[in-house]
Structure 1
Amino acid sequence: MSAEVPTPPPGTRRSRPSFLNSNRRQVILFAVLTLLLSGATVWGGRVWLRDSETLTFAVGEANGPEARFAAKLAAMLRATSSRLRLRIIPNADNTRALTQFDRKLADLAVLRTDAKIPPRARSIAILEHDVLMLISPGDKKIKSLAELKKKKIALLTSSSTNLAFVRKVLEIPEGSDTNARLQLAPANSMIDKLFTSGGYGAVIALDHASAIVRDKSFEQSARRAPFTVNALDESTALTRRYPGISEETLATGLLSSTPQIPDDDLDTVGLHWLLVGQAAIPANTAGELARTIYENKAELALDDGFASKIEPADVDKSAFVAAHQGVAEYINDTSKSFLERYSDLLYLAVAALGVIGSIFVGLYTKVTRVAPEKASELATAILDIGERIAEAKTMEALEGLQDELEGVLRGAVIGLRDGTISSDGLDTFKLGYEFVRDEIGMRRESLKRQGGHDDNVVVVKTAQSA
């Protein structure tokens, strides 16, 4: 080669071409914009998906447990920023509330399992248990319901509606003379007083399990005059005969710790208070409502203890009131609750990333990207050198063209390495380079013959040029 091509000093680093820096900045900018716009899309989708949904809740009298529970639930939904809202519809009593529910004029209601169950009612949660206790004076035990029917009975309860339930358990028909033996005790009556002054041979106490635990009057009566709580041996038969009745257990020491009453776990019967919803409520709505209730049940307990131990709905197929489909799905597969809760947003995020990313990729590749120079475009510079070969009259001029050609080649090699030149048209560049290189060689031979130089002179001249 006639001239030495200068090389950069060792250790120096070639700066990145400006257009490559521009492309890199564009890629970073588009990536950031993709994430920001996808996040904005997901946020907007979350707002849209969480658009509030209002459920109507039919309740009985304002001071009843159903109305007070509904008010607590409505407040709790607001406090937890749930998308669900409640509109409470008051009624004169719970029977009318259930009628309203049965006519599809309400989405939610509270019912006791001895009530007439609307066919479209589906269980959301078990709010409370009512427990029946059969009590006899002293250490006298009542062995059967048949024996109980022969005694004068006082019904100690906070609700007069329980009278009909006890008649059903004792199988006392309406208008029977036996009705005289079953009398509603005055409110707040003491057990020992009913036995001593009332002349009753048995007392049936029926109330919320949460209220019984809090009631200290049983322990006070037991200290004044002992009494016995009897097991109801017919409990299994009664639950089979009357599907709305449930088997319950009276735990040891439930009524009194000193003395301990009862002195052992006893079988009895009772009722469930259920929060029910219309079967037509969407599964995700029912599931979200159930999840919110289960996770915040401590905040839903009333001051008198009602709903203090909320339980999940019975999802068994043989349940007296079937669980709502959305509630059953939540209870049976709680490990997937997170994915179920956010699956729509995850799908939206993936879709947003795909669409927005594709738009920016297309915009970058087709519009904003500064493309590297094609190798075929360098052929123009090579051909320009080739056109000037014929004008080279001296060896020095020809060597200058040789240097230009080698400079173009070196620039192409460096550009291919750095990415400033693409490989498009590389074959064309190679063909042009070889053609011009051969033309320079032939022109050199021609000048040698014209000048009478031999090979040694040429070698010396080349060395001097170097």
Structure 2
Amino acid sequence: MSTEGPTASPIEPPPRRPKVIKTNQQQVFLYVVLTLLLSLATVWGGRALLHNSETLTFAVGAPNSDEALFAAKLATVLETNASRLRIKVVNNPDNAKALAQFDRKQADLAVLRTDAKVPLRARTLAILEHDLVLLLGPGNKKIKSIAELKKKKIAVLAESEASLAFVRSMLDIPDGPDAAKIQIAPQGATLDKLFAPSNGFGAVIAIVHASRAVRDKTYEQVAKRGGFTLNAIDEAKALARRLPGISSETLTAGTLSTSPQIPDDDLDTIGLEWLLVTQSRMSPTTAGELARTIFENKSALGLDNGFATRIEPASTEKDAFVMAHQGAADYINDDTKSFMDKYSDLMYLGAVALSVIGSIFAAIYAKITRIAPEKASELSTAILDVGERIEHAHSLDQLECLQDELEGILRGAVIGLRDGTISTDGLDTFKLGYEFVRDEIGMRRDYLKRHAGETEKTVRDAGLAQHDDSNVVVVKTAQSA
């Protein structure tokens, strides 16, 4: 009689669960990448909508005029900087015609000098240049006042005849016989020729760009020959108050010549400004972007002859001769925000896109695609299943298989808690079930060991009894014989 129970059948380990944490990490990485890609696509699309190219018409004078050359450079700078703004340069016979075109709203940009008739809707973007009014007398003759100047024959040395009208208004000389004494200097005329006795000019009023005056060596050469005297305009402040657009200027010592030094001391005079103006209807965004481009690229916009080499911000004062455009004023008054002004719309759009798209993917991950970790309490079912099979284990080998299965569940739980595939929900229940089944296995093992000793004794006794019976039979057989 054998005490061994049925042959222990191999117990298959429970199937391995997928690496939840790895799978979830892959999903999170994928959603992050998709969020970024879709946000970039949204920003790019928004930039395309917000960054539509805008062409601005720039009315200028003759092709070789300073304002025309400046407009061409500005167009090149905008294109080089990949700006959405484009410049279309439209030439006119002179700058007066260009301003008339601007006044008819047929142009978005123009350049005007402050002695010109200012269009009603003009707004300043920048001050491109200053013109200086130089009062020159022949030889060592000084001109002490405007009243004295009115009695002389005057040559106006300037690039355009518009300066002739300015000088007449400055001297307050109406049309008539006296006005004939003020003449525009012939093209290419020099100071030596103008002061020649044959011409009879008692004074020359030169209207020159400030940037060009400091470079012009002609004044130094003529001064060395004692050809002229630079005179102060003592009534400069009074003229600035009387005539709109005129500014009071100070010539520092040595501006025109260093040897000899002309002037030999700081000298008062008057000046005019060249303004880059735009229509008041231009949007503040466009005006601000244009102003920013101009001031960030001043070195590239200056002409070789000196014009626009010292670009200045437009005056934002309320009593300015030509009011600054609101977009330019915003840029000028808060230059530190130039980067934000440039990218704030795109940054805001990007933030909104990231928030919305990220929220959508987060909801999809949390509600649909995320693989939730198994609760520790759910493993209690496997442990109880092991416990139910303990009473059917009739050998230590079968019991050891159950013990291994129980330890396998525990080991899987520990690993799962470490890598996130199992959550701590119901962990106390799991521990209670594990300890209960473990103790049951221990008690079953003790039971089997006790009963295994009794069974061996029974078998041994049964063996001895059979041996005695066989001896009896042998004896009886011998006796019978």
TM-score range, shorter chain: 0.7 to 0.9
Aligned residue for 1:178? Answer: 178
Task: Give the aligned partner of residue 187 of structure 1.
Answer: 187
Asked if structure 2 preserves the Cα contact closer than 8 Å seen for 1:123 and 1:322, the reply is yes
Deviations 1:265-306 (A, max 9, x none): 211112111000122222222122112112222322334332
What is the one-letter code of the residue matched to 1:277?
Answer: T
Q: Is residue 71 from structure 1 mapped to residue 75 from structure 2 by the alignment?
A: no
> Cα–Cα, structure 1 residues 279 and 180, in superposed 2: closer, same or farther, change >3 Å?
closer
* CA gap 1:20/1:187 in 2 versus in 1, 3 angstroms: same
Structure 1 residues not aligned, in runs of 5+: 1-15, 454-466
Which SS does the other structure have where 1:321 is aligned? coil
Listed as ranges, the matches of 1:104-115 within 5 Å are 104-115=105-116
Q: Is the 8 A contact 2:134 2:207 kept in 1?
A: yes
User: Deviation of residue 47 (structure 1)?
Assistant: 4.2
TM-score normalised by structure 1 residue count: 0.83
Give the structure 2 partner of residue 5 of structure 1.
none
Amino acid at match of 1:131: L
Which SS does the other structure have where 1:22 is aligned?
helix
Partner of 1:200: 201
Partner Cα distance (2:76, 2:164) in 1: 34
Moved more, 34-43 or 295-304: 34-43
Structure 1 pair 76–405 and aligned structure 2 pair: CA distance change class (3 A): closer
Greater C-alpha Rg:
2
> How many residue pairs are counted as aligned between the two chains?
438
Report the residue type matching 1:268 in the other structure.
Answer: T
> For residue 171 of structure 1, what is the amino acid of its counterpart?
D
- Show the counterpart of 1:229: 230
Matches within 5 A, 1:55-70: 55-70=56-71
Q: Is the 8 A contact 2:21 2:419 kept in 1?
A: no
Distance 1:443 1:80, change over 3 A: closer
- 1:138 alignment partner in structure 2: 139
* Aligned counterparts of 1:122 and 1:166: Cα–Cα separation in 2: 25
The root-mean-square deviation of aligned C-alpha atoms, in Å, is 3.1
CA distance in 1, matches of 2:339, 2:309: 26
Gaps of 5+ in 2: 1-16, 455-481
Matched residues in 2 for 1:144 and 1:441: separation? 125
For the residue of structure 1 that corresponds to 2:155, the secondary structure is: strand
Identity of paired residues, percent? Answer: 66
Write the distance in 2 (CA, Å) between the matches of 1:295 and 1:395. 89
> What secondary structure, in the 3-state scheme, does the structure 1 residue paired with 2:258 have?
coil
1:192 touches 1:225 (CA, 8 Å); kept in 2? no
Match of 2:475 in 1: none
Q: How far, CA to CA, are the matches of 2:137 and 2:92 in structure 1?
A: 39
Q: CA deviation at 1:317?
A: 2.9
Query: 1:381 — aligned with what?
Result: 382
Query: 1:438 and 1:145, CA in 2 relative to 1: closer, same or farther beyond 3 A?
Result: same
Aligned residue for 1:3?
Answer: none
- The structure-2 alpha-carbon separation of the partners of 1:372 and 1:137, relative to structure 1 and needing over 3 Å to count, comes to same
In structure 2, what is the Cα distance between the partners aligned to 1:437 and 1:250? 105
1:360 match: 361
Distance in 1, Cα, partners of 2:273 & 2:233:
18
Amino acid in structure 1 at the alignment position of 2:150: K
Q: Matched residues in 2 for 1:67 and 1:214: separation? A: 21
| CA pair 125-342 structure 1, distance change in 2 beyond 3 A | same
Tell me: CA distance 1:184–1:397, structure 2 relative to 1, closer, same or farther (3 Å): closer
Could you tell me how far 1:122 is from its partner in structure 2? 1.2
The answer to which of 253-262 and 16-25 deviates more is 16-25
Q: 1:246 to 1:83 in 2, by over 3 A?
A: same
> For 1:409-466, what per-residue CA distance to the aligned partner results, in whole angstroms no more than 9, with x for missing partners?
443344223322122344554565566567768878998999998xxxxxxxxxxxxx
Amino acid at match of 2:191: I
Superposed displacement of residue 239, structure 1: 0.6
Select between 253-262 and 150-159 the one with higher mean Cα deviation: 253-262
Are the counterparts in 2 of residues 190 and 218 from structure 1 also a CA contact under 8 Å? no
1:157 touches 1:187 (CA, 8 Å); kept in 2? no
Whole-Å Cα distance in 2 between the matches of residues 43 and 450 of structure 1? Answer: 82
Contact kept, 8 Å, 2:292 with 2:338, in 1: the verdict is: no
1:51-450 residue pairs with structure 2 within 5 A? 51-175=52-176, 177-195=177-195, 196-392=197-393, 401=402, 404-426=405-427, 428-429=429-430, 432-433=433-434
State whether residues 19 and 421 of structure 2, in contact with CA within 8 Å, keep that contact through their aligned partners in structure 1: no
Amino acid at match of 2:278: G
Which secondary structure state, in structure 2, belongs to the residue aligned with residue 362 of structure 1?
helix
Alpha-carbon distance between aligned partners in 2 of 1:410 and 1:214, rounded to the nearest angstrom: 90
Residue 162 of structure 1: how far off its partner (Å): 0.7
Letter of the 2:246 counterpart: I
Measure how far apart 1:143 and its partner are.
1.4
Q: TM-score, normalised by structure 2?
A: 0.81
Q: Aligned-pair distance for 1:376?
A: 3.0
Q: Specify the alignment match of 1:458 in structure 2.
A: none
**Cα deviations by residue, 1:164-214 (Å, 9 ceiling, x for unpaired):** 100111010122x32232222222222233232212222211232234334
Q: Distance in 2 between matches of 1:446 and 1:217?
A: 125
Is the Cα contact below 8 Å between 1:192 and 1:222 reproduced in 2? no
CA contact (8 A) 2:79 2:86 kept: yes
CA contact (8 A) 2:140 2:226 kept: no
Q: Please give the per-residue CA displacement for 1:295-334, whole angstroms capped at 9, x wherever unaligned.
A: 2223223343322322221223332111112212222222
1:338 & 1:204 partners in 2: Cα distance?
Answer: 45
